[in-house]
Structure 1
Amino acid sequence: MKLLLYALATLSVSAIPAISIAQSSQPLTRAQVIAELIELEHAGFHPGSIDYVEYPGNLQAAEARIAAKQAKNTPTPTANGSSQ
């Protein structure tokens, strides 16, 4: 039983660096959050509106419009690997 506890403790300690490496993305800054909110408002989502019934649908629709706009503005690679 003691051996099992030692093995479990060793595995858990060795897994901590792997977990911390997986979280390498930096948190958003205040300016980035404000810019995203402004972009959502331009796409038709208004977080302060009274119509809470449509909340998830309105947000998802605005995010879909932003994603479509970004996809349209992103150049696609051709067969030889260069963009047009």
Structure 2
Amino acid sequence: MDLRILTMVLVELGLLPACALAQQTPGPCTRAEVLQHLYDLESEGFWPTQASNLRFPLNIEAAEARLAARQARQTQQGDDPPPPSVAGQSHCFR
């Protein structure tokens, strides 16, 4: 009887780490999240088709900074919440 209980406890303890790790990592970005991020960046003046290879990092970083500033202003002013965006808050983009 004691051996059965001990075996069950050991099995449960062995499975505990696997269950704990199962929910820690979010899944990959969805296509909708990526498209929404691109639309948000385009609304701040970033156009990927017109970006040069030399200025691309500067252009996208500037657009992301403007987007984050706009979203922060909207949050502080208490305006209607902006449409769901993943900029700066998702595992997908930072």
For Structure 1 versus Structure 2, the TM-score category normalised by the shorter chain is 0.5 to 0.7
- Scaled by the length of structure 2, the TM-score of the pair is 0.53
User: What pairs up with 1:4-43 in 2 under 5 angstroms?
Assistant: 14-23=16-25, 25-43=26-44
The letter of the residue matching 1:51 is: S
Q: Gaps spanning 5+ residues in structure 1: where?
A: 1-9, 77-84
Sequence identity percentage: 37
RMSD: 2.6
What's the offset of the Cα at 1:56? 1.0
Q: Secondary structure at the match of 1:36?
A: helix
CA distance in 1, matches of 2:56, 2:64: 12
After TM superposition, the runs of 4+ consecutive aligned structure 1 residues lying more than 6 A away are none
Q: Secondary structure at the match of 2:22?
A: helix
The letter of the residue matching 1:22 is: Q
Which structure has the highest helix share of the two?
1
By relative contact order (CA 8 Å, sep 6+), the higher-ranking structure is 2
Matched residue count = 65
What's the offset of the Cα at 1:20? 2.2
> What does residue 45 of structure 1 align with?
46
Q: Gaps spanning 5+ residues in structure 2: where?
A: 1-12, 78-94
For the pair 1:58 / 2:35, whether they are aligned, the reply is: no
What's the offset of the Cα at 1:37? 0.8
What's the offset of the Cα at 1:44? 1.7
For the pair 1:69 / 2:70, whether they are aligned, the reply is: yes
